Chain A
Amino acid sequence: MKVEKSFSVYKLIQYIVCILLAILSIMPFYIMIVNATRTTYEIQQHAISLVPSGAFFNNMKILTGKSFNPLIGFRNSMIISCGATAFAVYFSSLTAYALVVYKWKLRDGFFTFILAVMMIPAQVVSIGFYQFMYQIHMTNNFLALILPSIAAPAMVFFMRQFMIPALPIDIINSARIDGAREFYTFNKIVIPIMKPAIATQAIFSFVQSWNNLFLPLILLTDKNKYTMPIMVSLLKGDIYKTEYGAIYCGLLLTVLPLFIVYFLLSKYIIAGVALGGVKE
């Protein structure tokens, strides 16, 4: 190891700021994890502690004893997020393929349209969406949260940008000469080429769907259909008012899957974020 040659105060400040920010990012979650293992009495004595205690399973018992069923929430969130992600990446690739490979009259117009509607948030159309779902009796149906992801303009845009340099037209042409049908070519040749883009977009789509609160909150009224974020919002209610340990415990359960996903895939996620911005 070489000793730092150009050690300076400026450099030191940089490290101090970075380390302080890192603590700021981690601390709230650390307090959450520690307090999830402490009894309500211990938390009332001193709400900050860096040492875990042994009350985790007791807190769990209190938590699940009061209508909080993390397994059901986990299952529901899993179904919705996986379904929505699968639909989003598949159909966005398909739409991007239509935009890149084929020359059709309305193509440029369609792409301009996609750019224009990219920013319409689901929230501003939520009243009409809710009324529509209510009328066709889909309010407690997961499909109401899964099917809309077939039309994901921002993802189509990303897939198209990825496809233009990555997709060799020659391969498609030779598949055609071999007599492959267009749809077959897309499924068997294009999808594998698109794998890196699909993986990145799948992560973000999954996380976004998993974290979504607004639409599930207005659509799902049946307790057995609640998603994880709705379950979390229950922790604010009166029934947990003084059960501090149980609240932290519930919060921990909801972030645990995200922590695992994040630390396994952080490299790809960070790279994906960088790609998602305006490219050079």
Chain B
Amino acid sequence: MNKKKVSYAKYGYIFSVPFVIAFILFTLYPLVFTIFLGFTDMKGLGSTLATAHVQEDLFANFKQILGTGTFRTALSNTIGIWIANFIPQIFLALLLAAWFTKTKPVKGQGIFKVIFYMPNIITAATVAILFGALFGYPMGPMNDLFKTLGIIKEPYFFMQNKTWARGVVAFIQFWQWYGYTMIILISGILGINPELFEAAEIDGASDFKKFWSITIPNIRTVLIYMLVNSLIGGLQMFDIPNLLVTKSGPNNATLTASVFIYNQAFSGSYMYNRASAASMIMFILISICSAIIFFLMRDKYEVAEKKAIKKAEKAMKKAAKGGAKA
């Protein structure tokens, strides 16, 4: 592209300034602040930096956090609940995506998509309280249903059972997200070159064979993206485990890492230093995950970029031939 004599480069900087300022103020500075707090003894309501001291043993907070069983419980709960939600979620989403992208797809799939995705946009806090009520004791709808069906005789206190409490959290996550995953997978499958499927059809490949040998390898990147993205989201799980059961259930059954951080800093104990240290451990975990996404996306965008540039050049040539369009 030929440039005019006037340089517009400075506008690139000017227009980026609001973003940069907001980022420094509201993300970078708080990040550095949090890292710093992790090394101090700052605690107590209304405590400020002025009264805080750097710990003699620099990693005292980290050692304490990693040493306490509660944080380890929180981390293992987080991972466990995430796995219990992700595995069924990805399988169901793949199955539905395969059904919805066949040459003769399920009828009414537009409506199904809308309904399956719906739980995703509903406030997680509301969903948590709603499920808490549905599994309520002694008289919740689930108890009513189980009694009517004759499965139980006496009302059952679901949320006092570790497995039920965790299971319901995992189920809510699954229920809120499989529709989203399905839609992303569908758009991934629709992006596959249809000639591949046609060739396989001529060779007489079965539906399953086509799915396994063409669809899956071609949406590998999307699958990895979904996996990592879901893991990052799962690590931050807060609203549902915090609101579904009181005080994280029996034996901290639904205590997740985010709930742990919140409890340390903002409910009762005001241990800003320990909460900060726990935040940093989370941050490191998430950074590892996002590094994977970052490298994936970078390759992706380079390819897409070249395509877009080619397209634009073609359009320009066309426009030059046919005269400029308004």
The chain A residues found within 8 Å of chain B, CB to CB, are 6, 14-15, 18, 21-22, 24-26, 28-29, 31-32, 35, 43-44, 46-48, 91-92, 94-95, 97-99, 101-107, 110, 112, 115-132, 134-135, 147-148, 150-151, 153, 156, 161, 164-165, 169-170, 173, 176, 182, 186, 207, 210-211, 213-214, 217-218, 228-229, 232-233, 235-236, 244, 247-248, 251, 254-255, 258, 261-262, 266, 269-270, 273-280
Contact = CB atoms under 8 A, between A and B. Distances in A.
A140 to B, nearest CB: 15
Nearest to B29: A132
B115 A148 contact: no
Contacts of B151: none
Contact of A131 (B99, B141, B272, B294): B272
B216 interface: no
B150 to A, nearest CB: 15
A-side interface mostly:
helix
Given A14-B106, A46-B144, A119 B286 contact: yes
Looking at B25, B123, B293, the one whose CB has the most chain A CB atoms below 10 A away is: B123
Contacts of B115: 21-22, 25-26
24 contacts: A14-B106, A18-B106, A25-B175, A32-B130, A47-B136, A94-B18, A98-B13, A99-B16, A101-B8, A102-B15, A103-B3, A112-B298, A116-B294, A121-B232, A124-B279, A130-B266, A131-B48, A134-B48, A150-B19, A211-B123, A232-B243, A254-B123, A277-B187, A277-B222
A23 B136 CA distance: 21
B60 interface: no
Interface string B30-44: 111111110000000
Given A151-B23, A233-B243, A128 B236 contact: no
A232 B243 CA distance: 10
Contacts, number: 313
Contact of B294 (A115, A132, A280): A115
B129 interface: yes
A102 B238 contact: no
A265 to B, nearest CB: 10
Contacts of A150: 18-19, 21-22
B261 A251 contact: no
Contacts of A98: 11-16
A255 B126 contact: yes
Contact of B184 (A118, A126, A277): A277
A270 B117 contact: yes
Interface in B244-295: 246, 258, 261-262, 265-266, 272, 275-276, 279-280, 282-283, 286-287, 289-290, 293-294
Given A117-B23, A254-B123, A278-B297, 9 more contacts: A18-B96, A91-B19, A98-B15, A112-B298, A134-B48, A251-B126, A251-B129, A262-B118, A277-B188
B-side interface mostly:
helix
B4 interface: yes
A170 B15 contact: no
B48 A135 contact: yes
B130 A278 contact: no
Contact of B126 (A94, A110, A254, A261): A254
Contact of B15 (A169, A186, A274): A186
B266 to A, nearest CB: 5
B322 interface: no
Contacts of A169: 1
B186 interface: yes
Given A116-B294, A275-B187, A130 B265 contact: yes
B33 A236 contact: no
Listed from nearest, the 7 A-B pairs whose CB atoms lie closest are: A128-B33, A102-B12, A119-B290, A280-B191, A104-B12, A128-B30, A128-B34
A120 B239 CA distance: 18
B87 interface: no
Interface string B298-323: 10110011001001100000010000
B248 to A, nearest CB: 13
B131 interface: yes
A274 B183 contact: yes
B54 interface: no
Contacts of A280: 191, 304
A242 B322 CA distance: 74
Contact of B239 (A15, A35, A122, A214): A214
A18 B236 contact: no
B144 A115 contact: no
A252 B49 CA distance: 43
